[in-house]
């Protein structure tokens, strides 16, 4: 793992080995979340 990535994980509170979920909103805003503690809910658009 790159040192920069390790620093980012520590900032986000995500342990090494835990996948990072990256969500990009339509406006371009990006969020990084721990994949082991994140629940994704979706609805079917009609």
Our count of domains for the chain comes to 1
Does 28 reside within a domain?
yes
Does 44 reside within a domain?
no
**∠ CA(26), CA(27), CA(33), 5° rounding?**
75
The answer, as to whether pTM is greater than 0.75, is no
Beta-carbon contacts of residue 6 (< 8 Å; ≥ 6 apart): 16
Does 42 reside within a domain?
no
Q: State the residue range of the domain holding 11.
A: 3-34
Q: Is 22 left (phi over 0), alpha (psi -120 to 50) or beta?
A: beta
How high is the pLDDT of residue 1? Answer: 43
Q: pLDDT by residue for the chain (46 residues), tens digit each?
A: 455 577 888 888 888 889 889 899 999 999 988 999 999 898 887 6
Does 40 reside within a domain?
no
Beta-carbon contacts of residue 16 (< 8 Å; ≥ 6 apart): 1, 6, 9
Shortest CA distance to 24 belongs to which of 11, 16, 33? 33
């Amino acid at each position: 793992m790159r040192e920069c990535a390790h620093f980012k994980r520590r900032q986000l509170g995500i342990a090494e080995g835990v996948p990072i979920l990256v969500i990009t909103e339509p406006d371009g805003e990006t969020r990084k979340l721990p994949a082991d503690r994140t629940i994704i809910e979706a609805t079917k658009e009609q």
